[in-house]
Amino acid sequence: MTSSGLCVLATGPEIAKLLSLVESKRSISDASAEPGKPSSVLFCSPCKVVAAGYFDAEKKGVHVCENHLGNSKKAITRTLTHELVHAYDDMFGVLNDKPPLDWSSCKSRACSEVRAAALSGDCDYTAEVARGNFSPFNYYNRCVKRRAQLSISMQKACADSAKCDVEEVFEQCLADRRPWTDN
Ligand SMILES: [Zn+2]
């Protein structure tokens, strides 16, 4: 982790657990890693893209965009947890497929987005209300589906199938709460 103030703000047991699992798994496959020292997966710096953060599947790292992150500790923690779930999925796999995750598969991508939205707190009721969504009826599932669909539809190849992809994997991926439970 860099010494950036914003990244240091985002601490807590959930982030620590995800980070240590991802870092230790990554160091096994990272030839440039120092023996016995976990390789870093978290990069904090300003970004050109307009996002609070993103997972870079090529560099196998989570990029935290300091210039778009805001300064609410809750929001920073949500962003970081969301992106670390993608990093976890990349390294441990989803839908019973072997890792690394195939990001060219819209279904694998949809599964990771469902998990990231569900496990990060992106769909807590207060977060939904802050977005102007006040209906409490089945808000959680609707929020997870909507956000997963929105994320994967940004990929050209998944834009047309996004709704079906999310529906198809939803139940299985929502129930997959690794690393909090082993299923
Ligand atoms: Zn995502």
- Tell me how far the alpha carbon of residue 113 lies from the centroid of ligand 1, in angstroms: 5
Entry pTM: 0.88
Query: Catalytic one among 14, 83, 113, 128?
Result: 83
Q: Phi/psi of residue 45, each to 5°? A: -170, 170
What's the pLDDT tens digit per position in 72-131?
788 888 889 999 999 999 999 999 999 999 999 999 999 999 999 999 999 988 888 888
Encoded amino acid at 178, one letter: R
83 is catalytic: yes
Task: Take residue 127 and report the two structure tokens written for it.
Answer: 């977060």
Gap from CA of 116 to ligand 1 centroid (Å): 6
What is the whole-number distance in angstroms between the Cα of residue 87 and the centre of ligand 1?
10
Distance CA 90, CA 111 (A): 11
Percent of the chain with pLDDT over 70: 87
Q: Which two tokens stand for residue 158?
A: 């998944």
